[in-house]
Structure 1
C-alpha cells in the first residue's frame, strides 16, 4: 500500500488495474513474466559487457604488443634509409616485412623454425596499423585513421621521426557488431517467446494445483459468512493450503458449536427467567382477583420467587463478568481452613433437614493467597450442588490435603452418581444432568460454571469424577502458601 502511494497517479492507477485488482492467476503470470524479462536483460548486458570489455580488450592488447614489437624495426629502417620514409611509401611488401615479428636465430640444435604467427596475426591486427610522418600525414597502412586511434611516437636520436597508429578493433567491425547484435536480438526474442509460453503453461498448472483448493476455501468462507456453519472443506494435501483448509474446518466447527451454545443459552435464560416471572405474575393476579389472601404464606411464596429470580440474575451477571475477564478479585493472604469450617457450620442445618450428613476432615491451617469472598462463593455453590442432588439419607465427605504445593479440596457425596459422558460437561453453563428435573430440586445450571471461573482466576483447577461413595467427586486444586507481593503492587485484579 505504501509503494502504491509513492507512485505517480497515472502509474499508480495502471499498477492498480493490472496487478492489485488482478486475480492470482494473472499475478503469477506477471511475476514470472517480470522474472523472464530481468533474466534476458541480465544475459544481454553480461554478453555485451564480455564482448566489449574482455574480448575486444584482449584483441587490442595483442595489437598493442605487436605494435611495440615493430617500433624498433621501423626506427632502424628509417635510419638505414637516410632519414626518410620514401622507401616505404607505396611499398606494401616492405611495410608488411617490417611488421613481421622478430624470429629467434636458429642454433642448429633442432629443426629449423617455420613461419611465425601470433594471435595478433590471426585477428588481423597488422591490417589496422598505419605509418604517419611527423606532421601525422598518411604514409602507408590502414588509411582510415580515426580520432580513437592509439598513437605511438617513433624516435631517432631523441628526434621525432613519425608515428605508428593502431585503430581499435571495435572501430573496424561495425558490420560484424551489427550482425552480432541482430543475432543476439533474434536469439533473445526466440528465448523470450519460449519462456513466455513456458511461463503461461506453468501458471496454468500451478494455478490449477493452488487455486482450486483456495477457491473451495473462498466459496466455503462466503457460505460461512452467510450463516451456513455446517460448511466444510475437503483437506486434500498436507501443505499450507491443506493446513488452511484444516483450520477453516476447525473455525467452522467452533462457530457451529458457539451458535448452538448461543441458541441453547438464550432458550435456557428465557426459560429460567420466564418461570419465576410467570409464578409471580400468576400469584399477583390471584391477589388482585381475591383468590389468594395477602397472608404470611403468600408473601413467603412471592418472596421465594423473587429470591430465586435475584439469584439467577446475579449468577448471570457474575458469569458474564467472568467471561469478559472483568470479574474483580481482591486477593490477600488468608487461611482457608477457618473459612471451610464456617461454611460447614452455616450449611449443616440445611443438610440435617434434608436427612443428609457432612463429614469434614480439615487440617489445622491452610495458608493461601486468594480472594476469601470469591472462595466463599465457590464453596457455597459446591455445597449447594451436593445438597440438591444427593438422595435423602446420604453423606457428603469433605477432606483436604497438600499435594505438590497445592491444596486439594475434595467433595465426595453419595448416590446418585453422574454418567461418564456428562462428567466433562458439568461445568458448562445451563448444563443439567436431568433436563426434566423440577425447579425445586435443582438450580439453573450456572453454579458450577461460576465455580470453574473462580478457580481458574486463582490459577487452580477443578474437575469432576465418580465418587467412592457412589455419587459425584469434585476436586478443587488451589496454589498453597502466602504470597510476598511488591509493596507497590495492588491486591485488586480482574480475571
Structure 2
C-alpha cells in the first residue's frame, strides 16, 4: 500500500500510540489506578505493533526459508507476496525471486552441459573401445582403413577436449589477449591451409577474396580459433565438391574489418540464427553434408570475437548461409586482459 517501509512503520507506530493514548485516557477516566492502566496500555500497544509488523516481515521469513532450501540444492523455491508490495521488502523479495530464477537456469545449464559432455565423450570412446576390442580378439584386422577410423575418433576426442578447455576459459573469464598488428590476408591464408588439407576427401573449393593491404590488431591465436571454427562449420555444412567463399573488406566509417564466410548450402531459418551460437546446439545437416560435431565451435567463435569487441552473426544473403564477422581494426587496450606487442 505504501512505497516505503519507513512510512509503513511510522503509520503502525502512530496508530499504536493513538490507541494506547485513548485506552489510557479511558481507563483513567473510569478510575483505574495509573500503575495498572499504564502497563496494560503498554502491553496492548506492543501487541498491536507486533500484530501489524508480522505482515511486513513475512517475506523476510520466506526468504530465510528459501535461502536454506537453495543451500540444499532446491532452486525452485520462490517468495510469494500477498499483495503487490512496492516497499523495500517487496522490491527485495522480487530481486530474490529473480536471483533464484537465474540460479535455477544456471543449474539447469550445468546439468545439460554434463549430460551433453557425457554423451559427446561416450560416443567416440565407445567406438574406440569396440574397434580396439575387435582387433584384440582377432575379429578385425589392423588394416589402414581401421586404423584411420581409430585415428578419426581420437581426433574427435582431442577436439572435444580442446573445446572444453576453451569453454572453461569462457566461464572463468580468464582470457588474456596478446595483441599485435598483422596482415589480415596472410593470417586468413595461414588459417585456411590446414583446413584445406583436412578437407581433402570432400573436394571443397575455398575461395579467398581479401585485399593484400588489410592490416588489423588482435590476438592471432584467438582469432584463428574464431575463423577456424566458422570456416570448418561452413565446410561441414556444404555438400562435397561445392565452394566456400571467404571475403573481407574494411569498413572505414566504423573502423571495422568485416569478413563474410559464405557456403552455398541450405539457408538457416531466421528463428534459429541466434540459437546456433548457444553451447551444444548443433545445426541440422543439409542434403549431402556431414552431421555430428560438438556444438561448441560457434559458441567459442562468438566468445573470441567478443574478446576483441567484435561480433559474429548470420546475415541475409541470396547466395547461401553467410556468417559475418565484424572486428575492430584497432584493438582498444585493456590493462587486465591485453598485452600489446611493439610494432
TM exceeding 0.5? yes
Give runs of aligned pairs for residues 28-427 of structure 1, distance below 5 A. 197-198=44-45, 200-208=47-55, 210-234=56-80, 236-348=84-196, 354=202, 356-392=204-240, 394-403=242-251, 404-427=254-277
Q: CA deviation at 1:359?
A: 4.0
Moved more, 299-308 or 334-343: 334-343
- Cα distance between partner residues in 2 of 1:290 and 1:439: 34
Pair 366,481 (structure 1): closer, same or farther in 2 beyond 3 Å: farther
The answer to whether the 8 Å contact 2:180/2:218 transfers is yes
Question: Unpaired segments of 5 or more residues in structure 2?
Answer: 1-8, 18-32
1:481 paired with 2:330, answer yes
1:469 paired with 2:315, answer no
The answer to whether the 8 Å contact 2:116/2:280 transfers is yes
The answer to whether the 8 Å contact 2:308/2:331 transfers is no
Q: CA deviation at 1:445?
A: 0.9
Pair 188,363 (structure 1): closer, same or farther in 2 beyond 3 Å: farther
Pair 291,460 (structure 1): closer, same or farther in 2 beyond 3 Å: same
Aligned to 1:42: none
- What secondary structure, in the 3-state scheme, does the structure 2 residue paired with 1:441 have? coil
The answer to whether the 8 Å contact 1:312/1:444 transfers is yes
1:433 paired with 2:298, answer no
Question: Unpaired segments of 5 or more residues in structure 1?
Answer: 1-27, 37-185
- Cα distance between partner residues in 2 of 1:278 and 1:309: 11
Pair 392,307 (structure 1): closer, same or farther in 2 beyond 3 Å: closer
- Cα distance between partner residues in 2 of 1:189 and 1:397: 95
Q: Deviations over 1:454-476 (max 9, x none)?
A: 122222222234443343x3222
The answer to whether the 8 Å contact 2:248/2:259 transfers is yes
Q: Deviations over 1:391-434 (max 9, x none)?
A: 44654333323331122222233332333333222222211134
The answer to whether the 8 Å contact 1:366/1:480 transfers is no
Q: CA deviation at 1:197?
A: 4.4
- What secondary structure, in the 3-state scheme, does the structure 2 residue paired with 1:398 have? strand
The answer to whether the 8 Å contact 2:77/2:100 transfers is yes
- Cα distance between partner residues in 1 of 2:260 and 2:195: 17
Aligned to 2:23: none
Q: What is the CA RMSD across the aligned residues, in angstroms?
A: 3.7
Q: Deviations over 1:267-310 (max 9, x none)?
A: 11111111111111111111111111122222222122112111
- What secondary structure, in the 3-state scheme, does the structure 2 residue paired with 1:261 have? helix
Q: Deviations over 1:196-233 (max 9, x none)?
A: 7445423432332x112223333333333333322233
The answer to whether the 8 Å contact 1:409/1:475 transfers is yes
Aligned to 1:457: 307
- What secondary structure, in the 3-state scheme, does the structure 2 residue paired with 1:332 have? strand
- Cα distance between partner residues in 2 of 1:467 and 1:256: 38
The answer to whether the 8 Å contact 2:238/2:288 transfers is no
The answer to whether the 8 Å contact 1:367/1:480 transfers is yes
Aligned residues: 310
- Cα distance between partner residues in 2 of 1:336 and 1:475: 16
1:442 paired with 2:292, answer yes
- Cα distance between partner residues in 2 of 1:345 and 1:254: 43
- Cα distance between partner residues in 2 of 1:438 and 1:431: 20
Q: CA deviation at 1:335?
A: 2.0
The answer to whether the 8 Å contact 2:208/2:247 transfers is yes
Q: TM-score, normalised by structure 1?
A: 0.54
The answer to whether the 8 Å contact 1:375/1:454 transfers is yes
The answer to whether the 8 Å contact 2:245/2:262 transfers is yes
